[in-house]
A = this chain, B = another copy of it.
Amino acid sequence: MTKVADRYLEVDPWAVIEHGFHTDRTRVSESIFSLGNEYMGVRGYFEEPYSGSSLRGSYLNGVYEETPIIHPQYFKGLSKRLCFMINNVDWLHTRLSVDGETLDLAVSQIKDFERRLDLRQGTLTRTFTWRTATEKELRLTFVRFVSMVNANLGCLRVTIQPLNFSGSVEVESGLDFSIPYELEGQSFWQSTRAESLNNGASILAQTRSSGQQVFSAFEIQCSQTFDSKPIEKEKFIGQQFTLSIKQGQALVFDKLAVNHAERQAGVSPDEVWNQGMTVFLNGTGLGFDQALEAQAGYWSDVWNRLDISIEGDPENQQGIRFCIFQLHQTYHGVNPGLNVGAKGLTGEFYYGWTFWDTETYCLPFYMFNNPAAARNLLGYRYHTLPQAIERAQQLDCRGARYPMGTIDGTESVGTWQHGDLEIHVSAAVSYGIWHYVNVTNDKEFLYGQGLEMLIEVSRFFASRGAWSPQNGDFGFWGVMGADEFHMMVHNNVYTNLMAKKTFEWTQATITEMKTSAPEALSAAIAKTKLQPDELTDWSHMAEKIRINYDPATRLFEQHDGYFDMPHVDVRQIPPTQFPIYKHWAYDSIFRVNPIKQPDVLLFLFFFSHEYPLDVKQANYEFYEARCSHESSLSPSIHSIMAAELGKHAEAYQYALHAARLDLDNYNRNTHEGLHTTSMAAAWLNMVYGFGGLRSDGEVLSLNPSLPKDWQAFTFRVLYRGSLLQVKVSHDSVSIQTVEGSAVSLDVFDQRYEVGADLVSVPLPDERRGGS
């Protein structure tokens, strides 16, 4: 299938710019122009009411509602309770009227519209000229940001410049909990208290079922003094006021808003209110300008660690920076109770759920620039271990069965074929632990939370697996692997291999701890009630687990009988049949050989050092030809593998989709929200793909390549306290540490000690993209 860009935004190295108002793409723009700071996120909807198509999505991370899951028929173990991130207070609400006409871009006459997301300081600016029915013209500018320094704070600056008249403008500014959650057509909020403040207001609201509370308050700051009139409606409080404006002169007013979420149910409203008011008084004191200055400083530091620069490819340059910007906005490890939703804080789809994307795609991004955030992501799994243990029991198993999709650690996925059969999710957690420790050497984590999780995941796999009466080997029957186009399969090789690894990591950690941390080991054994015969069983299972591999063809068989499945040539499926989930009868997806996403290729990438190139090549060529890429996470893995195999054109082609998936709306569903976790895949694509980084060996290794049209590219990774910079150009790979001490690493299979002095290694011919 050929995916086609739908481009209307300007390509720029440090910004995303919309020239002219694209009324047919309002929701796509809203997603792309999203802002966030982990604590909260807001789509790029307009501050003022807009009667056209819009999703006024404002979200606080971890604030959700719940509803029973209805099944056509209930069976034991099926998930019963769906949690979904709800839309939250619209703290941007601003209404402007002149001569009784209220601004609404769906009906108002406007020109010179421009919208700009500044990636260097995290601001969204919108400017345009409004011509009223009374022929008055005003130049309007809205600048907003959510503070990375004070997570509760959101700031808005409105600049009004009357071009051909002097007079006045009526303003209404407020806090609105009444916006319906679109997927259900209702607001889940009940306002419990609301008060007017001096030039502002505050409001407390509570969800209907989950019992969470959100406090919100705002203040208008303006050089002009004005009288404001309180306005209160259902689930809404605000102020109305009139500002005098003079022809040619720009009048500025700022709205500083603070949101405070109490995620625990049962806290008294008074306590939340008082906490909220304290946060509010602390948060708004600095004012817009100082808050913006702090914001710019913050982002400058971030880009110093995170930037990837590409010379000669402005599209990918913009794409990868947009991805890094959105990823960092969504999560940077402040709170181990939070995680990364598939769409971050940018839309209602996927319900704000966290998937195993976190460990397999997002974790490396954080490991290499913000290890504390990576540890907090694993901490989230530790904090939700009790839920995973309970889930295993519901499914007649033991140990920890991590959920397919979750907000609070419980399984929210109601389709049992995913929620119950994708047991590999637990292995993603053990893989994350191992990978994180392999790169960071954080033994304290491993010996504590890490080991406890490894034991419980091993215990789960031991209880879920079974023995073949035919061959006497161990395996997993009735699963869905990483590839979701095959269901109720037996011995999915990805699942089996990940379970084998889990058993081995657990054993190795215990062996290591016997000498290095015997007390921590005793504590973990006591806590998990680990029995000696469990360890014996796990060794036996790891040894006897079925891994379908044919030495003659060097192919892994994705699951028992996969090679026997009827063949459909994915390249012959017409583009009109994508997405396949919507165009094919459901059951017909599962009985032919196209795959949705990499499965065998995924572990060949994860454990790159263990497989020779000819094995990777054989499997890449076989499975790439059968992959539909119905998952947005799919192309990056293929690009990474293609880069390693010297298939430069393919590597580049796959990468283009990854970095610009949302900017060019390749999947035609960006209006639903950004593909946030796919952005991590895009980062992997640059660093593991063209950078050729591998982090599964004893030291980091690099095997870079340079796409044909690029002059050079540069990226940085934080590795055991040292900030490494890698520049790949036409003739060489140049590496140095820009912070910290020297580190050992392999470049093109050669070991180097890299410090502050530039190490330059020639780029072999075959690592340059051919003509």
A106 to B649, CA, bound (A): 82
The 8 Å CB contact of A72, one of B414, B488, B584, is: B414
A486, closest chain B residue (CB): B488
Residues of B within 8 A of A586 (CB): 75-78, 416, 420
A467 contacts B by Cβ under 8 Å: yes
Task: Tell me if A590 counts as interface (CB < 8 A to partner B).
Answer: yes
**A477 near B: Cβ within 8 Å?**
yes
Using known A-B contacts A396-B584, A478-B591, determine if residue A561 contacts B560 with beta carbons closer than 8 Å: yes
Q: Which residues of B contact A397 (CB under 8 A)?
A: 585
Chain B interface: which of A208-216, A453-461, A564-572? A564-572
Q: Mark A54-89, 1 if CB is under 8 A from B, else 0.
A: 000000000000000111110111100010000000
From A468-476, A503-511, A601-609, the one touching the partner chain is A468-476
**In the bound complex, do residue B466 and residue A566 qualify as a contact, i.e. CB atoms below 8 Å apart?**
yes
Do A585 and B477 form a contact, CB below 8 Å, given A490-B564, A564-B560? no
Which residue of B has the minimal Cβ distance to A580? B76
Q: Does A711 contact B (CB under 8 A)?
A: no
B73 touches A414 (CB 8 A): yes
User: Contacts of A590 on B, CB cut-off 8 Å?
Assistant: 478, 488
* Residue A186 lies at the interface, judged by CB distance under 8 Å to chain B: no
Contact in complex: A415, B471 (CB < 8 Å): no
CB neighbours of A587 from chain B (8 A): 77, 395, 416, 420-421, 478
Inside 8 A of A467's CB, which chain B residues have their CB? 566
Which residues in window 411-432 of A have CB below 8 A to B? Answer: 413-416, 420-421
B585 touches A469 (CB 8 A): no
A71 to B: closest C-beta gap in Å: 6
**A529 is an interface residue with CB less than 8 A from chain B:** no
Is A592 an interface residue, CB under 8 A from the partner?
A: yes
List B contacts of A560 (CB < 8 A): 561, 564
A393-B82 Cα distance, complex, nearest whole Å? 33
The CA of A415 and the CA of B415, in the complex, are separated in Å by 11
> Would you list which residues of chain A between 482 and 527 have a CB under 8 Å from chain B?
487-490
Q: State A642–B434 Cα separation when bound (angstroms).
A: 56
A691 to chain B, nearest CB (A): 37
Q: How far is the CB of A361 from chain B (nearest CB, A)?
A: 23
Chain B residues with Cβ below 8 Å from A413 are 72
A233 CB–B CB distance under 8 Å: no
Find out whether the CB atom of B421 lies under 8 angstroms from the CB atom of A470: no
- Decide yes or no: A585 and B414 within 8 Å by CB, A478-B590, A591-B466 being known contacts: no
Q: Which of B395, B414, B566 contacts A588 (CB 8 A)?
A: B395
Q: Are A415 and B466 interface neighbours, CB within 8 A?
A: no
> Contacts of A564 on B, CB cut-off 8 Å?
468-471, 490, 560
Q: Flag if B73 contacts A582 (CB, 8 Å).
A: no
A488 with B488: CB separation less than 8 A = yes
Tell me, in angstroms, the Cα distance from A396 to B396 when the chains sit together.
36
Q: Taking A72-B413, A395-B588 as given, write out 9 further A-B residue pairs in contact, using a Cβ cutoff of 8 Å, ordered by the A residue number.
A: A72-B415, A76-B583, A416-B586, A466-B592, A467-B566, A468-B565, A469-B566, A478-B591, A488-B489
Residues of A within 8 A of B (CB): 69-73, 75-78, 82, 394-397, 413-416, 420-421, 466-471, 477-478, 487-490, 560-561, 563-567, 581-588, 590-593
The 4 closest A-B pairs by CB, nearest first: A72-B414, A478-B591, A466-B566, A77-B585
- 14 A-B residue contacts at CB 8 Å? A69-B72, A70-B72, A72-B82, A75-B581, A76-B581, A395-B587, A396-B584, A416-B587, A420-B587, A467-B566, A470-B563, A477-B566, A488-B488, A490-B564
